[in-house]
Amino acid sequence: MNIQEILLQIEQEVHSDTSRGKAADYIPALAEIDLNKFGMAVHTIDGQEYKVGQADEFFSIQSIAKVFSLSMAMQQFDEKVWDRVGKEPSGTRFNSLVQLEFEEGIPRNPFMNAGAIVITDMITKNPEPMKKDLLSFVRNLTGNPNVSYDFEVAQSEKESGYRNVALANFLKSYNNLNNEPEEVLDVYYHQSAIQMSCADLSRAFIFLANKGFSPYCEQEVLSLRQSKRMNSLLLTSGLYDAAGDFAYRVGLPGKSGVGGGIAAVIPGQLAVSVWSPGLNESGNSKIGLKALELFTTYTGISVF
């Protein structure tokens, strides 16, 4: 199997697709990104790297960063994380208020906005040191000291994040935030505004394909048990209310972000990431989904 040839074939096929979705214009800083951009990268557990397109161009990873904050929370609290956040698929939009009220302030899973806000609260004792610690954690996983925050995106999210403010205050009303909402949201907006490339992203996710151990930073990021459970959450909840469609079409644990990125893993083999900023109605990269579907089709490998 020649992965580089497969990536080149995928790149050729997706470039012919004229239906590319819509940018996340509700975050003004993301509204003007060129929808024709496309990058894809693969890293294997034995250190091989393959990439095509704009795989080295930085983009805002948005909700993909929830995997990193959850990993930090699992390192600190292990199973106690689930005292405050559920483990079930949502079936509703990623920023739903209705479900949070119905379940009395316990978010359905850690990848919905409400759940990610709770996870951010868990790991935050002081916002400024936490922002530094989170960025250091991600830089360590990528091996790239240039991974950074896009402060324009963070500010844009703050200025347009009325629903996240509502979610945070709602969580506080149910005593499911220890910090003040504005402090948690400050970290949360910066978390979402982490920028890196596809190549960085697949490298950062390799620990989930390798039983929790990253060969790039030579560290156990999560235990084998924790890594298995993270992958199960990614499969059932990583693409919001479209997780079932992703499992059906692609068949991998994965996480998307409204910046147009998707990262996925094939346990025991590799991590793959894709970036194309045009989104479908569920908030997932339209071309990215097609590329990953083609990848598992042409390679013949998935978790199923």
- Domain extent for 157: 3-299
Average pLDDT of the segment spanning 91-116: 88
Average pLDDT of the segment spanning 198-224: 96
The number of folded domains in the chain is 1
Packing angle of the helix pair 198-209, 127-142 (nearest 10 deg): 80
Q: What is the pLDDT of residues 130-188, one digit of tens each?
A: 999 999 999 999 999 999 999 999 999 999 899 999 999 999 999 999 999 999 999 99
- Is 134 part of any domain? yes
The reported pLDDT for the residue numbered 303 is 87
Q: Is 272 helix (H, G, I), strand (E, B) or coil?
A: strand
Q: What is the pLDDT of residues 272-282, one digit of tens each?
A: 999 999 999 88
pLDDT over 80 (residue 64): yes
pLDDT over 80 (residue 9): yes
Give the model's confidence band at 27: pLDDT under 50 very low, under 70 low, under 90 confident, else very high.
confident
Q: Tokens representing 3?
A: 């992965």
pLDDT over 90 (residue 28): no
- Is 304 part of any domain? no
CATH code, 116: 3.40.710.10
Give the model's confidence band at 46: pLDDT under 50 very low, under 70 low, under 90 confident, else very high.
very high
- Is 16 part of any domain? yes
- Is 287 part of any domain? yes
